[in-house]
Amino acid sequence: MSRAMNVTLDEAGVTDMCRAAGVAISAIEPLPNGGTRLVCVSPDGADQMRRKLKKHLIDGEVARHRFYRAPGAPGGY
């Protein structure tokens, strides 16, 4: 099962819900058309958050911001 999910809630709301549930976040990012992409550290945490966020999950693919790492930055081009 994937550790990533897209939800209709804002980043602060998702962070608060994860903190309250004791679920560690691996990555979190806002989506260009609204909502948040959440990646949990563990598959178990992701399953727990999917249950909590069931009404807010976005099905299918979503647009995401392009990832940019500046030249010369660690891990950059």
In a domain, 66, yes or no: no
In a domain, 61, yes or no: no
In a domain, 47, yes or no: yes
Looking at residue 77, what is its pLDDT? 47
In a domain, 70, yes or no: no
Q: Domain containing 50: what range?
A: 4-56
In a domain, 75, yes or no: no
Residue 46 reports pLDDT greater than 50: yes
Beta strands in the chain (DSSP E): 4-7, 25-30, 36-40
In a domain, 49, yes or no: yes
**Is-contact 68 76, C-beta < 8 A?**
no
Residue 71 reports pLDDT greater than 80: no
pTM of the model: 0.83
In a domain, 67, yes or no: no
Count of domains forming the chain: 1
Looking at residue 66, what is its pLDDT? 79
Residue 72 reports pLDDT greater than 90: no
Looking at residue 65, what is its pLDDT? 83
